[in-house]
Structure 1
């Protein structure tokens, strides 16, 4: 499973568990325009850290926070590349 697929699947799983309705999860989906709240996001980040072994949020500036799902995927892609190097 690709990292993109993993992020999309985990967003869907967290949303379902938290009983949040989500539009189709695409790279251009703006997270703030969904029911995916801060608790959902915290759960997602914890799961992604368990799955990838990386926490890209620990080394980033507040100005670099992801806005779209695609931004989030790119953030994890960079963290995975950095971890592999």
Structure 2
């Protein structure tokens, strides 16, 4: 499964588990408007690390924090490529 599909699938699953209404997710959706709260994002980052084997937030000190769903996905895509290299 691609990184994109993994991230989006986990976001939807966590929203369901946490009984949160989730927005229509596309690359332009702001993370703060996604429907997920800080607990949901903490769960998301932990699950993505377990599933993808990377945590981009600890891989570099010069990280720019994502603002949109697209930026969040791209962050994980880059981290997966860096880890594989």
Tell me if both proteins adopt one fold, taking TM over 0.5 as the criterion.
yes
Match of 1:75 in 2: 75
Where does 1:1-85 land on structure 2 (aligned, <5 Å)? 1-58=1-58, 59-61=60-62, 64-85=64-85
- How far apart are 1:35 and its partner, in Å? 2.5
Structure 1: unaligned runs, 5 residues or longer: none
TM-score by length of 2: 0.91
Divergent runs of 4+, >3 A: none
Segments of structure 2 that go 5 or more residues without pairing to the other structure are none
Q: Is the 8 A contact 2:24 2:34 kept in 1?
A: no
Cα contact 2:25–2:34 (8 A) shared by 1: no
The count of aligned residue pairs is 84
Cα root mean square deviation, aligned: 1.2
Q: TM-score, normalised by structure 1?
A: 0.91
